[in-house]
C-alpha cells in the first residue's frame, strides 16, 4: 500500500471538508440562520488539512523500477544521492522529487511511419564510401545507470533522448556507413558494421550516464536505382548459375553414357575372351580325347570293328555285300542268336 498516496488522499478530503463547512456557514448566515460551532469545525478541518498536506508532501514512495532525484532549496539545488525504492522523507515545500525510470527503454528510428519514436520516415540517411545512399533503420535499447541518476539529471535535465541518444545514434550510423562500400554494407560486412556502431554508441552513452544494452541494425534500404541494379545483377548471376548447372548436368550425362558404353565394350570383350577360352579348353579336350582314342586303337586294332558293330541296329545278325567286292570290314565272328547259326556267304 502506498502510504504517501493515502496521506495525500486524507489531506485532499480534509480540504474539501473545510471548504464545505465554510460554504455552509456562509449560506446559513445569509439566510439569518447562524451555524453554531461552525468556526471551531472549520479551524479543525483546516488544521487537519494542513497537517495531512505537510505529511503527504514529506513522504515520497519510490517504485522498485525508479530512482528519485530530490530538487532541494537547502542543499545547493539537488541532493547528491538519489532516493532508493520504498518510503523516503523530504522537507515539505522546500524539496520535491523527480522520478527516473531505470528499466530498459527502446528508441527506434524507422522508415515505417508507425514504428519509430517519431511518426513518419525517421530512418537515418547515410552515404557509403563509394557514394551510394542508404537508409538505415535502427533501435537503441538502453537504461539509466541507477548509480548515476543525479549526474544524468544534472547533465540532461530529463532530455537525454533528444539531446544524447538520438543525435549520437544518427551520427554514429552515418560515420560507420561511410567507412564501408555498398556491397559490404548489405552483405559481407554487415555484422562488422553493426558491431562498430554499437561500440561507438556504447562509449558515448556511458559518458552521458546511460547503459547501452543492445544496438539493433533493423534494416538497410537502398535507392530505387541501386535496388534495380542489384536485382538485375542477381538475375544475371542466377542465370549464369543455371547455365553452369546445365553444362555440369550435360557433362555428367556424357560421362555416364561413356561409362555405360565402356561397360558394354568391356562386357563384349570379357564375353569374347570367355568364348575363346572355352573353345581352347574344348579343343584341348577334343585333342586329348583323340589322343586317347588313338592310343586305344594302337593297342587294340579290333576295337574299331567292335565299335562299328556296336553301332549297327540291334536286330542285324548278317551283313551282305556285292559278290564282286570284298568285305568292307573283316568280321572275325558273330555271336549267334539262340537256336541259330550265323553264316557268312
pLDDT values of the chain reduced to their tens digit, one per residue, 345 residues: 567 778 778 888 888 888 888 888 788 777 777 767 777 877 888 888 888 888 878 888 999 999 999 999 887 889 999 999 998 989 888 899 999 999 999 999 998 888 888 888 899 999 999 888 899 999 999 999 999 999 999 999 999 999 999 999 999 999 999 999 888 888 788 899 999 999 999 999 999 999 999 999 998 888 777 767 666 776 677 777 777 878 888 888 888 888 888 888 777 878 888 888 888 888 888 788 777 777 777 777 766 676 666 666 555 555 555 555 555 545 455 444 444 444 444
- Residue 38 gets which letter from DSSP? H
Give the CB-side neighbour count of residue 109, counting CA atoms within 13 A. 22
Do residues 89 and 60 touch, judged by C-beta distance below 8 A? Answer: yes
pLDDT at 290: 76
Question: SS3 of 173, please?
Answer: helix
Query: Quick one: CATH architecture of 105-222?
Result: 2-Layer Sandwich (3.30)
User: Scanning the structure block, which residue is given the C-alpha cell 447562524?
Assistant: 34
> Looking at residue 145, what is its pLDDT?
96
DSSP annotation string for 297-314: HHH-TTHHHHHHHHHS-T
pLDDT of residue 339: 47
Q: What does the pLDDT read at residue 314?
A: 57
Where in the chain are the domains? 3-100, 105-222
Nearest Cα residue to 90 out of 73, 69, 76, 70 = 70
Cβ neighbours of residue 78 closer than 8 Å, sequence gap 6 or more: 69, 70, 71, 72, 150, 153, 154
In this predicted structure, what is the pLDDT of residue 295? Answer: 76
Model confidence pTM above 0.75:
no
**Residue 333 vs residues 83, 296, 318: alpha-carbon distances, Å:** 148, 21, 11
Q: What is the pLDDT of residue 324?
A: 57
Cβ atoms of residues 108 and 117 within 8 Å: yes
Distance CA 127, CA 109 (A): 17
pLDDT of residue 308: 67
Amino acid at each position: 500500500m502506498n502510504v504517501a498516496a493515502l496521506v495525500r488522499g486524507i489531506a485532499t478530503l480534509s480540504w474539501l471538508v473545510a471548504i464545505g463547512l465554510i460554504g455552509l456557514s456562509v449560506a446559513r448566515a445569509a439566510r439569518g440562520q447562524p451555524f453554531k460551532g461552525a468556526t471551531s469545525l472549520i479551524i479543525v478541518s483546516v488544521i487537519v488539512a494542513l497537517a495531512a498536506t505537510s505529511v503527504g508532501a514529506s513522504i515520497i514512495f519510490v517504485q522498485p523500477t525508479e530512482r528519485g532525484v530530490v530538487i532541494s532549496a537547502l542543499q545547493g539545488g539537488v541532493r547528491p544521492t538519489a532516493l532508493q525504492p520504498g518510503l523516503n522523507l523530504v522537507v515539505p515545500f522546500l524539496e520535491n522529487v523527480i522520478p527516473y525510470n531505470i528499466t530498459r527503454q527502446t528508441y527506434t528510428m524507422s522508415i515505417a511511419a508507425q514504428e519509430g519514436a517519431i511518426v513518419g520516415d525517421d530512418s537515418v540517411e547515410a552515404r557509403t564510401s563509394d557514394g551510394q545512399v542508404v537508409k538505415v533503420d535502427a533501435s537503441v535499447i538502453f537504461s539509466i545507470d541507477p548509480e548515476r541518476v543525479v549526474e544524468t539529471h544534472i547533465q540532461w535535465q530529463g532530455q537525454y533522448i533528444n539531446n544524447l541518444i538520438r543525435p549520437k545514434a544518427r551520427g554514429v550510423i552515418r560515420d560507420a556507413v561511410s567507412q564501408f562500400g555498398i556491397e559490404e554494407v548489405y552483405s559481407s560486412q554487415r555484422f562488422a558494421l553493426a558491431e562498430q556502431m554499437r561500440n561507438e554508441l556504447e562509449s558515448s552513452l556511458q559518458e552521458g550516464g546511460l547503459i547501452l544494452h543492445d544496438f539493433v541494425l533493423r534494416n538497410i534500404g537502398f535507392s530505387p536505382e541501386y535496388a534495380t541494379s542489384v536485382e538485375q545483377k542477381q538475375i544475371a548471376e542466377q542465370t549464369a548459375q543455371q547455365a553452369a548447372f546445365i553444362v555440369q548436368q550435360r557433362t555428367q550425362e556424357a560421362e555416364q553414357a561413356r561409362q555405360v558404353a565402356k561397360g558394354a565394350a568391356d562386357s563384349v570383350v570379357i564375353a569374347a575372351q570367355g568364348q575363346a577360352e572355352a573353345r581352347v579348353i574344348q579343343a584341348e579336350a577334343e585333342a586329348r580325347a583323340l589322343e586317347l582314342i588313338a592310343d586305344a586303337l594302337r593297342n587294340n586294332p579290333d576295337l574299331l570293328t567292335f565299335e562299328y558293330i556296336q553301332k549297327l541296329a540291334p536286330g542285324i545278325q548278317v551283313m551282305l555285300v556285292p559278290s564282286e567286292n570284298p568285305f568292307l570290314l573283316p568280321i572275325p565272328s558273330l555271336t549267334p542268336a539262340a537256336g541259330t547259326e550265323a553264316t557268312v556267304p
